[in-house]
Structures are given as structure tokens and as C-alpha cells.
Structure 1
Amino acid sequence: MTEFSNNTEVRELRYLISKSLESSLSREEVSRMEALLESSLQMRVYYREYVSLYCDLKSLLEVQLPEFYEDNIAEDRLFWETMARHENLAPPLELNPLRVEHQPELIQKVERPKIERQFSKFSLVSLITSIAAIIFLVVFGRFAPIRSGIEVATLIDTLDAKWSEASGTMKSGTRLTTGSTPWSLREGYIQLRFDNDARVVIEGPAAFNLLTGDQLMLRYGRAYAVVPKQAYGFTICTPNSRIIDLGTEFGVQSDIAGDVKLHVIKGQAQLVSNIKGSRINKVVNQNSAQWLSAQTGDIQDIPIDSKLFVRRINSGNKIVWRGESRIDLADLVGGGNGFGTGVRGSCLDPETGDWLADSGIRRWGTVRINGWAGNASYHAVPSSSFIDGVFVPNGQDGPQVISSEGHQFVQVPATSGRYWGGIINVDGPVLGQDLVLDNRVYGTAQRPALFMHTNAGITFDLAAIRELFVECELTEFSAVYGVQKRQSNPFADFWVLVDGQVKFQQEGVQSGQSGVIRVPLSKTARYLTLAVTESKDRLPAEGRLVTFDTWCVFGLPSLTVK
């Protein structure tokens, strides 16, 4: 227990507590109590120590003794009634008289000295200070108001946020302070970072205010908290509950009617409530959810919904991430953020890096059967921060640069150096024909696809993508690959490289053939390259037209997020 060098102040604090218990504490004396707490670290440590003691004792005192005793009284009554019936029906028991052979005589009266019980001053002081601490916590919690105007968090990002007139307009970088007046977010999303590094995303409509540096009051709406180790114990309060972090990521939905839904995605959280005397204190584990009824005070298990809450936003890239486990690379090619915001049917020109909103296969494929002559240059893609660049593969002059940092495709085969159309985020049939791999249609909203006619290559910037998911990892690239079935029976080679190193290679893929690609990604992997080239045994002879129907497809091209 904390020791104090100034016993006078301790006695003064006890005196003030005694007065407050008698409801005779003035405002000046309340201020004095606050000043004592603020006067030294010892006072505050002492306060924290007894918080734990108070909670433990309070839990013991809150045991529902009446019900317990009633149950035991009923059991005792049944026991004695049974014993009485047994006694009335039992036969008489014969007892032999007790034989006393020798009556003991009193030889000497023994007088025992009286022992005075002595109480340890330390024990007495500890008892008094324990009681004082408990009383203080009750009184202080009742009388001390929320300290307003203390900066405890920063608004680090907003996306399509619209505030009520009373809340005004807040921009990224605004410092938020404690207080009892709520901010009202009519729609959109905001992301807060507390000074202890706890991060909260709030989805409108919602109303909230900050109570302390580690407590947020969510009056209604949805909030998702990511709590690091140093912010252990971070709490989201609602009008009817408290959700306390135990090393977690969790989402809270508070309805205007008062119902609360808690979804724990990682770790554990503690749900505390006292609606109608329910006295709920439950630890909710990872991958589980609870619903708290404001009408009855009951809680019940509900299915976990891992995509109910927005976990991260990025206004620069219009990203609203709800925990999706896959990033769609076809959507990135379409100018999107990997979660379906891209333009289907759009493409990238592998010769220039330009993004084109219209389908390149319609604009190019029916114009030049013999394609376009490309060069060996690497072209940046200014329209997307997630795509590093594009190129037309051709190894006639040796290794080819495939990243902005100069990584080289050493094994690149010699090709005709020509290309047919763009790298397309497919939107349905191509030239009236569905893209079919393994009897499944690709290029739909449910099964997105990249269409890449030979010869074409594209490099994605994994580092830029990771910046959106600070707490997550990109663990794998996966896709279904194949050549669309055509009458000319075309061949193609498929390549996947990571930082210039070949991780997947399949040569001579014939028309109608398909397979699966799975490439693990390390934490340090920076560039992911996909390329398709003409198969070496199908290169056009001099003077012949180059085939224009080698339709290469990457179905469901995705990065796995964990």
C-alpha cells in the first residue's frame, strides 16, 4: 500500500470524506479534495490502488443475498420436516444407563489470567484507510463532474462526413476535447486517434462525446475500436453499458432505443451493464457477439458479423474497409480501391500507362488485327498509387525493367514485341463471348477478372497497398489463370514475379486450359508483377500476321489480407 510523507494531508482527506458521507461537504471542500488528488503522484497512485479494492468489495457486497438465503431457508425447512417425520415413525431406542465408576474431585481451582487483546496500529490504519478510500470513490464519483476542455484525441481522417449544425464542421487534424456535449455525425465516416494510440472509427448517423483520455461515450451509432497494449482498458460507454477493452478489436452498435450489440473481432472485451438491476459483467471472447436488450436487461448470443463495422477509412483513396479479406486487383486496374469502386470495362494502355474509361478490346481489337508495336520501356501509371507501372514484355534485347526501382525480368522470353489492346477490368462478355475458365464465367461482379492479351505486363505496388492496412498483412496472391477457348487454338505463357524474382511460370498454356496460382508474400515484398507472353513455339514467322485471339485471363486476381 502506498505510504505518504505528509500525514496531515491524509488526515485532511479523511476528514473531508467523513463530511461528504454526512452530506455536509461544501463546494470549497469538494475543490479541496480535487486539489489533494492533483497535488502528488502518491495521491493518484493511492487512488488507483483503492479503485481495485473498491471494485472487489463492491462485487462482494452486490451478491444477491436475499435469494441465496431464501433458497437455503427452503432447503433447511425441507430437511427438518423430513427429520421430524422420521422421528415420529421410528421405533423407540433403548439406551443403557451410563455407568460412572469414579466421580472426579476438584483438586485446585485454576484461574487463568486475563489476556488483553492488542490491535496493531498498522492493521487499524490500513482498515481505516481502506474504508476511507471506498467512501472517497463513491463520493468523488458522485460529486466530481467530467473535466471539460482537455485535449485527448485527434480527428485523423474523415470521409463524406456531414455534421449537424450544432456540431459545426470538423476537418482532419482537429483536436478533440473532453466534455458532456455530444458531436452529431449525420452521415459519413470519421477516424479518431486518442493520445494513448487507441483508434476509433465512427460511422454516421452517430452521436458521441469524449469523457476522458480513454473513454468514449457513444450515445447512438456504430464505433469500431482498435486498442494497442499501451491503451489496455480503453472503454466505449453507451447510455446502458460499458464495454472495456481487454486487448482487443471490437465493434459497438448502440441504438437510439438503447439496445447494444457488441462484436469482438480479436482478443476479449468486458460487457458491464445494470439495466433494471441485471448486474451484467461478462467477458466476451474473440469471434463472438452479444446483444443487450434495453427493455429487459437480458443479454444473448448473436452471430458474429465481421463486416458490420467500418474498421478503417482513407479519404485520399475513398476506402471504406469493413474487414474484407481480399483486395481485388482487377478493381485496382479499373481505378478503384480494391473493394468494388473501380470502373468495370476500363483499361490501362501497356504502351503508355494511361488509364482509359472505355473498353480497349472494342477500341483496339477490331481495328488492328496485327496489333501495335511496343517498346521495351517501363511506363508509370499516374492514375493509381497502387499500380507501379505497365510494360510490353520482350526479351530480344535482354532483361527487362519491371518496376520503378529497376527490378528486372531476367527470364523474359523473346516475343514479337507487339500487343493487342489494354489490360482490362472485364465487364461481361468480350466481343460477345463469355470468358470461361474451368466451366465458370469470369468478368462478372461476383467473379472479377483481368483480361490481358499477349504481350502485356503490370506491376502492383504492395507497399502502397499496405499503408491502408497498418494492422494487417498481405500474405498471398491468388488467381485462376487460363486461355479463353478460341478456334485458332492459341498458346500463351503466364508469369508471376515478386521483386523481379519468378514465383510462378506456366509455359504453353493452350486454348481452353486453366489452373490455379498461389504465391505467398513476405512482409518485405514490394512489387508484384503479372505478365503474359506469346508461347515460344507459336511465335509468328517473318511476314506472317500475328494471331490476335490469345485471350489470357486472370480470374479472381486477389491479395489476401490478414
Structure 2
Amino acid sequence: MSSHRGGVKELAPQRQETQVAAAGDQSGNVPGELDSSRVKDSTGFVARILAATKDVTWSADGAPTDFLMRLEVGNRIRLATGLLKIEFSGGAEIILHAPADLQVLGPDAARLFSGNLTGRSDAGSFNLFTPAAKVIDVGTEFGVSVDADRNTGVSVFDGEVHVRPMQQEESPDSLFRLTRGMSARVDRRGFIQSGLDVDSSRLRRLLPHEASTTLGASEVSLIDIISGSGVGERRLAGSIDPATGYWGQPPWQQTKGVEPRVSHGQLVSVDWNPLLDGVFVPPAEAGPIQIDSSGRSITLGPTCGATWGSIWARRRLDHSFDPLAGVRDENEQGFWGVGTIAALMERLQWSRDGLVGIHPNVGVTVDLDEVRLQRGRSVRRMRGVIAHLEKSHESSPLYPGVRADFRIYVDGTLRFERLGFRRSDGDSQFGVNFEDGDRFLTLVTTDSDASNAFDHVILIDPILELADP
């Protein structure tokens, strides 16, 4: 028995069956129901893996290939064990439960070939395709499973979901409405059954909290600040476009991290991340540049007026889990330029927690008050190691004079600097102490030779130390 509401069928609590043609294949082709023009326009990265449980392993050809765990249209994730948290640039987040096979179709669409997932999309309009059904999230929290017989189960934890059997003619009458507490099953023959008792206990709606094995109780990693991790969350990677402050489409639209960002001489807010006050690209001409929202400025010398790629952070992962472990890009164009994947993976292997990449010319400002608010304690010190990974010796022409500058400011006052350093100068430790009332921490890298070519500056294990509780 069914009733109509605005052309959408509402599944009543009792058992209901409707037969349609069975559909779905394992080819990975984009389903016809998805707007093909939108998929075509969704070039580059449209999703990213935020976090994972420690027991994650990949099935053959099922691991991400991007250094920052970003996913392009068409990428397929085959998870053998563990849980993954994936965020789409359209706003949806899902938790993929192994064993599972998922393909990214666009900023707000994916296809689940097998396995279980839970998802949430406050903005709505997330489309999930399975071999038997199309599931449309219209602003809700839901769970979907595809079993070995390619039957699809749908549970709604909150909000509303619309379900349509695959290959049924698309019309308002072909959608079945599920609301909070309801469930349905679409089998491979095309029958929809509602009012089922679905065991949703196996569907994890949150990743389990796993204590850090690399950070102490009084340590906060800059990796978590750059990537926007919450308390108890350890994101794998993150990136920020210094020209826009976005984490979403820019810089995800670039399939490589080597995209120039020309200075417009302004501080840009990072609205999605309260821990960051702003980012900026210093102008080519010597002069002042605003570095925080209170209006403070610093004066820098002339630069080439551009940076290369995004500000990024990448956590060290166990060798068995890291999909890029052992990758050697040699002279090919890597994530950050020639040979950078191999160099970065080598540094990650020997780091304690991970790396932050700040290619000159760029600046990023941390709001220490927001860190105190999030962590419940004052920040007393920052420490880490700075290094130059210039790889021009593997390219042609050779750039033997590549140099960079690194400075740390607190509320506009210079607290640390390392000027004109090269790869051959080796690594250097840095440290800055904070006083009560300090508000903004600004990190700036600039070129020392009017060119930012091969200026691959990284921070190794950058840590903020909190006051004792």
C-alpha cells in the first residue's frame, strides 16, 4: 500500500513490493541517470579520504594514488579491511565499511558496487548508485548495503531519502520516500520491500576514536590544524589554496599540485577552518602585506609574486597502509614537481607524525585563541624542523642556486627566521615560545633569488605544545 505526496511515493511501514527491471553492472560506467554534463565538467579532484582506521588494507588496484588522498572522477576504492571516511566536494561525507567497492562519479555522486556505507549530506542531493537502485539523499543521515547477490538495503537514521529501482523510467512516481527510522530493500529482480527489520548495528556512523601513537597528550600537530581536524580526529591529509582559502574545488580541480597562484596582495580568510585566520601570497614588489584579521602587516622584500600549488599537510602512515609506499616517480612530474613523490615519501618514512608543505611565496596564519578554545589549554611553544627538498639536480636545466627564506611572526613581530637556505645546507630545527595574550601565529616562506623554481620547502613534525592542564 502506498500514498502519494507531491508525486513521490511514501513507503508505508507494512511490507510492500513493486517489480521493475533488474539493473546494474560491474563495469564502472557512469549510470545514465546521472547528469552526464555534470560528470563531464567535474574534472580533477572531487573527493578526498579524510581519515581511516588503523586496520585498513586495500584490495588489488583499489588504493588511492594521490599524495594527499584526493579522488578524481572515475577513481575506484576497493577496501579489503577497515573503515574509511570520505568527503565529497559537494558537502557529503560517507564512511565506507570493508569489504567494499566504491567508485567516485562526481562532486555529489558515487556508485557502491558491494559492501556497506553510512553517509550524511546536510545540503542534500547526494546521489548513490548501486546495482539495483538509485538512492538520493535529500538532507539526511543514512546507511546503504549491497550484498553478494547485488541486493540493496537502505536505512534512514535521520531526515529523508528517495529510492528508485534502476532502469525504471525516471519520473516523480518512480521515487519511493523513506523517512527517519524507515528501511527498504531492493532485490536484484527489482522488487522493493519496506517495513523490514534491518540490523543497522553493523553500520558505523562514526569512526572509532583511536588515540595517537605519535603525539603526546600536550601536543597538537600543525598537520591537524592545516587539514581541519577536530579534537580526537586525525585527518590523513589536507590542502588550502592560498589564493582563495578554499579546501573544496580549488585546489581539487587541479590534477597535480603544481599550479601557479599569482599574488593579489590580500589576506584571504579560511572560513571552513576556524583554526586558521587567513592565507596570503606576498606581492612581487617590496612592501607591506596584511597577515592577520586584526589588520597587522609585515614588510617583505621583492619576490617573484607567485607560489606553486597549495599549502598542504600529509600524515605519516604505516607502510602497510600507505598506498604510495615504495612509489618512485624519479624524473617524472610528481605531486609537487620533478621527483617530489619519492623525496616526500622518504621524508615521511623518517618523520614522527608527518609533513607540511609551504612552497614560496606563501603565508598562513593560525589563530591561537581558536586552538586554546578547541583544546581547552593555552599554547606555550611551537617547534619543528625545516628542510628544502629542491630536486633540480634531477632535472634540466640545473638550478644550483635555489634558495628560500622562512620566517615566523607572532602578532606581527618576527620571532624566527632562516634566510637563503638551500638543499645542501641541510635541515634546521626551529622553535618559538608564546606568551599570555599572543593571538596570531604566522608562517611565511619567500624566494631568495627572484624565482620560486624548485623551492620545495617542508616542515617536518611541526608541533604546538600546550600548557599543562
TM-score normalised over the length of structure 2: 0.44
Bigger radius of gyration:
1
Higher strand share: 2
